[in-house]
């Protein structure tokens, strides 16, 4: 009896060992499948890049956008914390074309060691708009076709970095691009409802050139292509004259820009007898709060289209 008892005990011991070893093995397998540390670390400047890449990259990526709501990329200076994030990134994606005007030196340094890609600079120059002094307009996310191509190029970078995930990224991208096409069709329909003579979009700085080109709207920015440019009294006076000439019912502020110059235009028009209202706030160089509709590229674009439509058709609604 004693002997049997011992061998039974040994059996239990052996079984326990096997079960616990199996347990270890299975938890190790789970770790390798779902280890969040293995996600590709993407760091972007503007969220107009970061949020779509989060959709396309899905659970294989972790995206950090340095510039949050209300932040002006033209004037943005990287903090020490940003530089650490950039140095720890697997892939860095930025817009380029001098949008992030103060970060040029940082980008050229990072180019020596990091996987870094400028979406704006991946587009053929012939498709880009130029300002009065020949500077390229960097606000290309307002041309839905251009931004789609830029995101497509960024996705190729992602595929090169992680070929095993290429099919997954491609599938997510195709689904996302369908939504961009839907937004484009919807915007064409909406904007064609604005009477031709009222298709004038006045904003604080010249961010909507591509939007205007795409949907046949004249755009006027009080500041130039960069918010580093000054607003002069003559800019305000010329804009007031244009509003009066075309009887434009509304002008717009931008979430990342001081509202004073636009308010001066409204006052100036009012002194000359034209009732111009503030048509609302547009997202130009920064998106809305993450987790809200306006915190997504498609959502902020849709918000702008609705706000512009409502503002410019105001007199028609009376
Ligand atoms: Zn801008």
Answer whether residue 213 is part of any domain: yes
* 117 DSSP β-pair partners: 93
Q: Which residue has the higher pLDDT, 20 or 53?
A: 53
Answer whether residue 9 is part of any domain: no
What is the distance in A from the centroid of ligand 1 to the CA of 147? 15
What is the distance in A from the centroid of ligand 1 to the CA of 148? 19
Residue 216's SS3 state is: coil
What is the distance in A from the centroid of ligand 1 to the CA of 105? 20
Looking up residue 135, the CATH number of its domain turns out to be 3.40.50.1980
Answer whether residue 318 is part of any domain: no
Residues of the chain with pLDDT > 70: what percent?
Answer: 87
Answer whether residue 167 is part of any domain: yes
Confidence of residue 228 (pLDDT cuts 50, 70, 90): confident
**End of a domain among 181, 197, 222?**
181
65 and 81 in a single domain? The answer is yes
261 and 279 in a single domain? The answer is yes
**How far, in Å, CA of 33 to CA of 10, rounded?**
35
Per-residue model confidence (pLDDT) at position 35: 53
**End of a domain among 181, 207, 237?**
181
Query: What is the count of structural domains for the chain?
Result: 2
101 and 237 in a single domain? The answer is no
Angle at 185 between CA 181 and CA 187, to 5 degrees: 115
**Single pTM value for the model:** 0.86
**How far, in Å, CA of 98 to CA of 52, rounded?**
21
Per-residue model confidence (pLDDT) at position 30: 39
**146-204, pLDDT tens digit by residue?**
999 999 999 999 999 999 999 999 999 999 999 999 999 999 999 999 999 889 999 99
148 and 266 in a single domain? The answer is no
42 and 131 in a single domain? The answer is yes
On the question of pLDDT at 1 being above 80, the answer is no
Confidence of residue 315 (pLDDT cuts 50, 70, 90): low
84 and 193 in a single domain? The answer is no
Beta strands in 112-195 (DSSP E): 115-118
Residue 291, sorted as left (phi over 0), alpha (psi -120 to 50) or beta, turns out to be left
Answer whether residue 166 is part of any domain: yes
On the question of pLDDT at 124 being above 80, the answer is yes
80 and 161 in a single domain? The answer is yes
Answer whether residue 290 is part of any domain: yes
Element (H, E) at 222: strand 218-223
What is the distance in A from the centroid of ligand 1 to the CA of 145? 19
Q: Which residue range is the domain that position 201 belongs to?
A: 189-313
Per-residue model confidence (pLDDT) at position 25: 43
Q: What mean pLDDT is predicted for residues 81-89?
A: 97
154 and 253 in a single domain? The answer is no
Per-residue model confidence (pLDDT) at position 33: 43
Handedness of CA 8, 9, 13, 16 (dihedral sign): positive
Residues of the chain with pLDDT > 90: what percent?
Answer: 80
**End of a domain among 134, 155, 181?**
181
Q: What mean pLDDT is predicted for residues 267-274?
A: 95
Per-residue model confidence (pLDDT) at position 6: 46
303 and 199 in a single domain? The answer is yes
On the question of pLDDT at 62 being above 90, the answer is yes
What is the distance in A from the centroid of ligand 1 to the CA of 40? 29
176 and 50 in a single domain? The answer is yes
On the question of pLDDT at 231 being above 60, the answer is yes
219 and 307 in a single domain? The answer is yes
What is the distance in A from the centroid of ligand 1 to the CA of 74? 6
227 and 120 in a single domain? The answer is no
Residue 129's SS3 state is: coil
**How far, in Å, CA of 85 to CA of 92, rounded?**
10
What is the distance in A from the centroid of ligand 1 to the CA of 301? 15
Per-residue model confidence (pLDDT) at position 32: 37
Please give the mean pLDDT across all residues of the chain: 89
**How far, in Å, CA of 199 to CA of 216, rounded?**
8
Answer whether residue 215 is part of any domain: yes
What is the distance in A from the centroid of ligand 1 to the CA of 38? 35
Give φ, ψ of 87 to 5 degrees: -70, -30
Per-residue model confidence (pLDDT) at position 11: 52
**7-51, pLDDT tens digit by residue?**
545 454 554 554 454 444 444 433 334 454 589 999 999 999 999
**How far, in Å, CA of 250 to CA of 127, rounded?**
30
Answer whether residue 1 is part of any domain: no
């Amino acid at each position: 009896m004693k002997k049997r008892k011992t061998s039974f005990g040994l059996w239990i011991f052996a079984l326990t060992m096997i079960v616990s070893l199996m347990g270890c093995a299975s938890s190790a397998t789970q770790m390798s499948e779902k280890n969040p540390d293995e996600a590709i670390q993407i760091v972007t400047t503007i969220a107009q890049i970061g949020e779509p890449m989060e959709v396309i990259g899905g659970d294989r990526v972790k995206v950090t956008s340095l510039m949050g709501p209300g932040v002006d990329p033209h004037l943005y200076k990287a903090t020490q914390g940003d530089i650490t994030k950039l140095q720890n990134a697997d892939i860095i994606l930025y817009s380029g074309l001098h949008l992030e005007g103060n970060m040029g030196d940082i980008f050229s340094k990072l180019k020596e060691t990091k996987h870094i890609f400028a979406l704006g600079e991946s587009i053929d120059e012939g498709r880009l708009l130029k300002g009065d002094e020949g500077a390229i307009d960097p606000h290309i996310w307002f041309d839905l076709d251009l931004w789609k191509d830029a995101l497509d190029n960024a996705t190729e970078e992602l595929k090169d970095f992680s070929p095993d995930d290429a099919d997954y990224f491609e599938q997510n991208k195709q689904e996302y691009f369908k939504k961009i096409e839907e937004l484009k069709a919807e915007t064409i329909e909406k904007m064609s409802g604005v009477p031709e003579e009222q298709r004038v979009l006045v904003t604080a700085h010249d961010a909507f050139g591509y939007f205007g080109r795409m949907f046949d709207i004249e755009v006027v920015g009080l500041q130039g292509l960069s918010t580093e440019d000054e607003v002069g009294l003559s800019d305000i006076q010329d804009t007031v004259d244009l509003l009066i000439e075309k009887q434009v019912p509304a002008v717009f502020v931008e979430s990342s820009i001081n509202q004073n110059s636009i308010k001066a235009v409204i006052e100036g028009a009012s002194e000359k007898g034209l009732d111009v209202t503030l048509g609302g706030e547009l997202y130009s160089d920064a998106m809305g709060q993450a987790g809200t509709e306006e915190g997504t590229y498609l959502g902020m674009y849709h918000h702008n289209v609705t706000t512009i439509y409502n503002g410019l058709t105001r007199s028609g609604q009376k």
